[in-house]
Structure 1
């Protein structure tokens, strides 16, 4: 797109004058009334050609009224433009030129309109008026754009001043100097934040608005770290992690300012702010594959279609294999993914064979429809296993995001350098896992906006993790230093905030049904481990497994509560919330007391005895409460919408029942549907899917 560089007070702002690009909503709103008035005036001609006599005279009178309205609007634009020019002498040349153009085109428009109003039937006068109207609108648009650029100039100038103050803060050599310069910088940032917020809301381009909002968030969250890091550095310049903390905060602030300036000045900043993303590659590939398997039998070409679909499926299977081979993927889940990949391969071969048999046939055979249904079944099952494999990772990695951080800070606050380094490795590994899981989650998400948010949150976590470790190393080296302690607190708070945002971004992508199914299965695994630990008197395993049960249960409460907050408070929502309350306030406290007592008894020398049956019962309370939440959530689902997973439907033999407690009896239509034998459910689903195939053919 062609653009023009406009210099205002030493600043270069890019703007497209040739295409009259309007970037802000306020310019559009200001221009809209004049556009409407001019359009109405130009549109009266065709209406008046159909009227005669007195009606014709009234039309003339109406045209004169419209001319007067347009003339008044032009006068107001000129008056307002003159005020802006007087208030901004540095831009008087640009504003003066735009004003003169508005005056000239305004006079032409008024004269042409008056002539047209005197004789609305004249086509020549109408053409002249339309040309004058276009010139007027173009000149007024240019005036508004120049005035808009003045507003941008002031914001950019404030950013230049803030950057200058930031550079001075970098040169501070004493605590007092840091305090004084940071106070000045904070005031500038507060004013700049208000201007940037207003500008972001006014921008028409959503991506530009997102870039400014992302930069604003960085400025806000980095300010406390900048303050503490600068104080820590001037107090301990000999400690390299202190310098790295300060340099990181300075760079983050400087980049955020630069990104805002780039957006305001018309430059592309999308590569620098990390606020980008598209739909998940694997999800998109599966969707595309599902669409492409529908081929008109008469148009089927084996040499073209077969290799294309086979190659596309192999790319999908390669992506699925990466998820299956990930560290936290359960063996059972990995086997399921491998089985479904092979099943999709076979289903595709069966479908292609049916296409070849039906080539040239007037009506496709029923076997072809069944083959299409089978491919749909298999890709749906593969999707489910991939989604839930990813949620396996999410459930494990986001189980307790606090522990690695707290262990790191504890070692550092005691001045234990060796333990700090050990915990730093654990912390960085944990942070790396969070980022990897976020990237994996993006692969199976079909919503670009959600992927964009998750990518951005993961990028912020990835950037901050090494600096949290540096803050801990500084504290370990100077564990009695107040600036070092305050610096650690600032980086701890920033880390917790960014991990919280990452957790929210992940939770917004995964479905509640999948999350609850996986969480319930994981809790059953942890219950088994708890019971095994009690029997074997293994205090460490019991403590770890009991902590996992508590962490997963609290995550269930957190995620379900957040989901219910988005819904109106109806009977369904109330039931779900009541189920959450039972888990959080009744089942979990009882379990925690029993688990804590059991750990204490087993840790004795010699180990004490724990009532296994009593412990099994309290574990069953937690599992049943989680299961009740899942059942309450599924109550508003249609049976056909429930994507069941056999490994999450527990066997009803007496041994397992004694381990996890009795199941709740549900006497309603949905429960009856779920209890149907698998063969019956498959038959019903096949009928539904055949109907969907026919429906798809009708639509296409």
Structure 2
């Protein structure tokens, strides 16, 4: 039996290794296709050619996102997971930037700032694609070793361990090693004391603790040498006391650095929540006011330096390697997007009547705002580590454990998805976003923006987008119960749309009427199924996650039908020039939005710019329209 078991385990291991190689090969091939299409996109010179190639690029990026998302979930190394998440975030955001930057360059081919803006996006996407391959193949280009800047938190932890080890090994550590380690730590504290955003009180306290740390180490070295001279076999009382004092001093220094970084970051984010500088940039660009633009770009450059410096301080005290990587990603993002916003604003100022240039600036500003939001989430995560809440997180399985029964489990209360669950739902979230993009692109083509069918479709798209934000841990839907409530409202709006479609079909000839109703009649079944899913009680965390997964998938199915119906209605309206008065006085679709569960604020507040979100298919529709003009 033992021999057979060993053979079985050996065979299973070989199968798993082979499967792993297959997955890696798929990701490498997918990345090669994306890179090849990226090369073509960079060289296109006409809108028509760009639309065709970008359509292919979009499909390849979705496939790549799915493959890398699965791989990210499978990774056991938390550092690699964090690096993969950072690379995938860059690719997701850069896809939008690439689209608008390329459009701007095609419309204004002689504009130097537009070329710089576009070139920066392509370069960043290639770096992110390379990083993904480095992670999945566990390699570095040209055989280089992976190097990350050291953090004070890690250095202090190692220093305290070395000091502690003196008890058991009086002769194994050189004095110079401890002195060098302390000096390196104190050198890094200069990032805090030299910062213009560190308060005088914090600066003085850090300097005082640094001086005290040197004194305590000198005292420790003195009693250590004395114990060695006496040929003591174990630490003396004086040495024990010196070790305790040294460790305590370093703990106080670390705590002071943590407080300094968190307070500085918190104050900085409060200052920038209104996005005043971004608004000034947009206004000066639209007005073509180069003088005001120069002042605003100077302010944004200063803001960029502040945020990069703050990201460095947070990295020093973040507490673990995955968070350090997230801090590095934040610093790199601010460092890159700042100049890109400036080049986009310069292009708009040179061509103030250009809608494409204005749209491009909007996309880069949205990316900046998104990164500020990510930074506030990062602050909370770092604070959780310091307060010990990180340890409360339990391992999550997407399926119940074999042999376990749920009879004694209580009904799960409304909960938030954790980071692991968000990663698992990310694929469906991406699909849902693309479907909302389809619908938004279609609704933009309608001339009559007061059409009730159009308003109901916009309402459904807005709600679906808020559900997509939930999969990313963003937006006003905070818990699973919020999501299910929103999905129910979404289904009710689908039933109202079904009634409007029936009313519209009565004005059509028999053939067109039957083709429209064939699609429209799918709504009642889909809506009822979604409502049933949302109202069915579940037990246990795994079942709740499955319910979330099912709700989003059914929402995607409804959005697919909605897109077909909208496209068909648009064609019929064009053909018949139907009088729309049968739809009556339009009621505000936003009035149907779910009230936020957290603070009573309507989702309208969040979704006022929902249709300003520039997604892939929406921009492609715009491109097609512009090309026809």
Q: Given that residues 175 and 234 in structure 1 are in contact (C-alpha distance below 8 angstroms), is that contact kept between their aligned partners in structure 2?
A: yes
2:36 alignment counterpart: 164
Alpha carbons of structure 1 residues 259 and 182: separation in structure 2 relative to 1, 3 Å: same
Alpha carbons of structure 1 residues 306 and 409: separation in structure 2 relative to 1, 3 Å: same
1:334 alignment counterpart: 203
2:492 alignment counterpart: none
Higher relative contact order (CA 8 A, sep 6+): 2
* CA offsets 1:46-85 (integer angstroms, 9 cap, x no match): xxxxxxxxxxxxxxxxxxxxxxxx9xxxxxxxxxxxxxxx
Matches within 5 A, 1:264-663: 267-268=139-140, 277=148, 280-294=150-164, 300=170, 306-355=175-224, 359=230, 368-401=239-272, 402-510=275-383
1:194 alignment counterpart: 66
CA-CA distance at 1:264 after TM superposition: 5.8
CA-CA distance at 1:285 after TM superposition: 2.8
Secondary structure of the structure 1 residue equivalent to 2:271: coil
Q: Given that residues 408 and 420 in structure 1 are in contact (C-alpha distance below 8 angstroms), is that contact kept between their aligned partners in structure 2?
A: yes
Secondary structure of the structure 2 residue equivalent to 1:293: helix
Secondary structure of the structure 1 residue equivalent to 2:45: coil
**Inter-partner Cα distance in structure 2 for 1:195 and 1:308:** 46
2:101 alignment counterpart: 229
Secondary structure of the structure 1 residue equivalent to 2:270: coil
CA-CA distance at 1:486 after TM superposition: 0.8
Alpha carbons of structure 1 residues 469 and 271: separation in structure 2 relative to 1, 3 Å: farther
1:238 alignment counterpart: 110
Pick aligned residue for 1:247 from 103, 115, 119: 119
Alpha carbons of structure 1 residues 250 and 351: separation in structure 2 relative to 1, 3 Å: closer
CA-CA distance at 1:485 after TM superposition: 0.8
**Inter-partner Cα distance in structure 2 for 1:262 and 1:368:** 47
2:4 alignment counterpart: 40
Q: Given that residues 282 and 443 in structure 1 are in contact (C-alpha distance below 8 angstroms), is that contact kept between their aligned partners in structure 2?
A: yes
CA-CA distance at 1:491 after TM superposition: 1.1
1:522 alignment counterpart: none
Alpha carbons of structure 1 residues 500 and 437: separation in structure 2 relative to 1, 3 Å: same
Secondary structure of the structure 2 residue equivalent to 1:480: coil
Q: Given that residues 297 and 361 in structure 1 are in contact (C-alpha distance below 8 angstroms), is that contact kept between their aligned partners in structure 2?
A: no
**Is 1:181 the equivalent of 2:50?**
no
CA-CA distance at 1:425 after TM superposition: 1.5
Secondary structure of the structure 2 residue equivalent to 1:399: helix
* CA offsets 1:558-598 (integer angstroms, 9 cap, x no match): 99x99999xxxxxxxxxxxxxxxxxx99xxxxxxxxxxxxx
Alpha carbons of structure 1 residues 245 and 325: separation in structure 2 relative to 1, 3 Å: closer
**Inter-partner Cα distance in structure 2 for 1:253 and 1:311:** 40
Q: Given that residues 83 and 325 in structure 2 are in contact (C-alpha distance below 8 angstroms), is that contact kept between their aligned partners in structure 1?
A: no
Alpha carbons of structure 1 residues 286 and 211: separation in structure 2 relative to 1, 3 Å: closer
* CA offsets 1:475-515 (integer angstroms, 9 cap, x no match): 1111221111111111111222223223322432246989x
* CA offsets 1:283-319 (integer angstroms, 9 cap, x no match): 23322333333466796569x7555444433333333
CA-CA distance at 1:217 after TM superposition: 2.6
* CA offsets 1:391-443 (integer angstroms, 9 cap, x no match): 34213322233233222222222211111111111101211221111112222
CA-CA distance at 1:276 after TM superposition: 7.2
Secondary structure of the structure 2 residue equivalent to 1:398: helix
**Inter-partner Cα distance in structure 2 for 1:183 and 1:301:** 68
Alpha carbons of structure 1 residues 413 and 381: separation in structure 2 relative to 1, 3 Å: same
**Inter-partner Cα distance in structure 2 for 1:243 and 1:563:** 40
* CA offsets 1:191-221 (integer angstroms, 9 cap, x no match): 3322333344456776666555444333221
CA-CA distance at 1:464 after TM superposition: 1.6
Secondary structure of the structure 2 residue equivalent to 1:173: coil
Secondary structure of the structure 2 residue equivalent to 1:241: helix
CA-CA distance at 1:224 after TM superposition: 1.4
Alpha carbons of structure 1 residues 255 and 360: separation in structure 2 relative to 1, 3 Å: closer
Name the larger-Rg structure.
1
Alpha carbons of structure 1 residues 368 and 498: separation in structure 2 relative to 1, 3 Å: same
Matches within 5 A, 1:68-107: none
* CA offsets 1:308-359 (integer angstroms, 9 cap, x no match): 4444333333332342122112222222222222223333344444456664
Alpha carbons of structure 1 residues 296 and 204: separation in structure 2 relative to 1, 3 Å: closer
Alpha carbons of structure 1 residues 367 and 259: separation in structure 2 relative to 1, 3 Å: closer
**Inter-partner Cα distance in structure 2 for 1:391 and 1:473:** 34
**Inter-partner Cα distance in structure 1 for 2:205 and 2:315:** 21
Q: Given that residues 211 and 269 in structure 1 are in contact (C-alpha distance below 8 angstroms), is that contact kept between their aligned partners in structure 2?
A: no
Alpha carbons of structure 1 residues 253 and 271: separation in structure 2 relative to 1, 3 Å: farther
**Inter-partner Cα distance in structure 2 for 1:355 and 1:282:** 25
Gaps of 5+ in 1: 1-36, 44-69, 71-132, 515-557, 566-583, 586-700
Q: Given that residues 225 and 490 in structure 1 are in contact (C-alpha distance below 8 angstroms), is that contact kept between their aligned partners in structure 2?
A: yes
Q: Given that residues 344 and 379 in structure 1 are in contact (C-alpha distance below 8 angstroms), is that contact kept between their aligned partners in structure 2?
A: yes
TM-score after normalising by structure 2:
0.53
Secondary structure of the structure 2 residue equivalent to 1:485: helix
**Inter-partner Cα distance in structure 1 for 2:208 and 2:183:** 14
Q: Given that residues 140 and 146 in structure 2 are in contact (C-alpha distance below 8 angstroms), is that contact kept between their aligned partners in structure 1?
A: no
**Inter-partner Cα distance in structure 1 for 2:194 and 2:80:** 38
Count residues in correspondence: 395
**Inter-partner Cα distance in structure 1 for 2:32 and 2:279:** 39
